[in-house]
Amino acid sequence: MHYLKELNPSLQEGLVDRIPRNVFEYFVRTYGSDDPNSYEELEKCEICRDIEIKLDEKRKKMTDEIKNAKAEESDTYFHVNINWLKKYEKFLLGDKEPGTISNASIVDNGRIRKNLTRGIHYRSLTKSVWDLLYNEYGADYFITGTDLSIYNSKLDNLKPSKDCTIEIKE
């Protein structure tokens, strides 16, 4: 399988998944094993260890950069869907990467959805924090304003980003 990395690194994704211990034990009971206690001794392959090390380094680096960026003042705020931010927080705790920043669920027909509440539907980020996240993940839409309320953002500040691949259907 290591030759896949040389041919096409993206082929590796999805080839191996972690399974819960109870699922592993079910397989051992059902299909047998030379050593049912080997679960504790299982090691990740070299490729998986390298990927995990790089992700851990990325998590630490991004956490440090965001801590520094949060301390900066901002005249502009970027409003981000809270569901994406929750995925990002899970990534920092060891989960998979969150993917492209998606604000599509807080936009409706080219306008900001009604009845959104900061802290429940979206959060407001300073420009320096947004820049770090956007440079790493890209975004479908970005919404900017001069204060923390999404409704004080001008509609001309609601723009598809250069990476936009999501269509808003009417």
Determine the Cα–Cα distance for residues 147 and 54; give it in Å rounded to an integer: 36
CA-to-CA dists, residue 155 to 2, 38, 82, 84, 140, angstroms:
50, 59, 20, 22, 16
Residues 87 and 154 occupy one common structural domain: yes
Residues 121 and 64 occupy one common structural domain: yes
Report yes or no on 92 lying in a domain.
yes
Q: Which of 118, 111, 100 is nearest to 162 (CA)?
A: 100
Report yes or no on 127 lying in a domain.
yes
**One-letter amino acid for residue 138 of the chain:** G
Residues 135 and 91 occupy one common structural domain: yes
Residues 92 and 156 occupy one common structural domain: yes
Query: Tell me: the pLDDT tens digits for 136-158?
Result: 999 888 888 888 888 877 544 55
| CATH code of the domain containing 142 | 3.30.2230.10
Residues 6+ apart with CB under 8 A from 163: 100, 138, 139, 140
pLDDT of residue 135: 92
Residue 48: phi and psi, rounded to 5, are -65, -40
Residues 85 and 145 occupy one common structural domain: yes
- Structural domain range at position 22: 1-42
Residues 109 and 167 occupy one common structural domain: yes
The tally of domains found in the chain comes to: 2
Residues 1 and 31 occupy one common structural domain: yes
Give Dmax (Cα) for the chain.
Answer: 66
Residues 38 and 70 occupy one common structural domain: no
> How confident is the chain (170 residues) per 10-residue block, as mean pLDDT?
46 64 79 62 75 91 86 84 95 91 87 91 92 91 84 58 43
Residues 31 and 91 occupy one common structural domain: no
Residues 12 and 91 occupy one common structural domain: no
Buried b / exposed e over 78-98, threshold 16 CB at 10 Å, is bbbbbebbebbeebeeeeeeb
pLDDT of residue 13: 58
Report yes or no on 154 lying in a domain.
yes
pLDDT of residue 2: 43
Residues 11 and 90 occupy one common structural domain: no
CB 100 within 8 A of CB 139: yes
CB hemisphere CA count around 39 (13 angstroms): 14
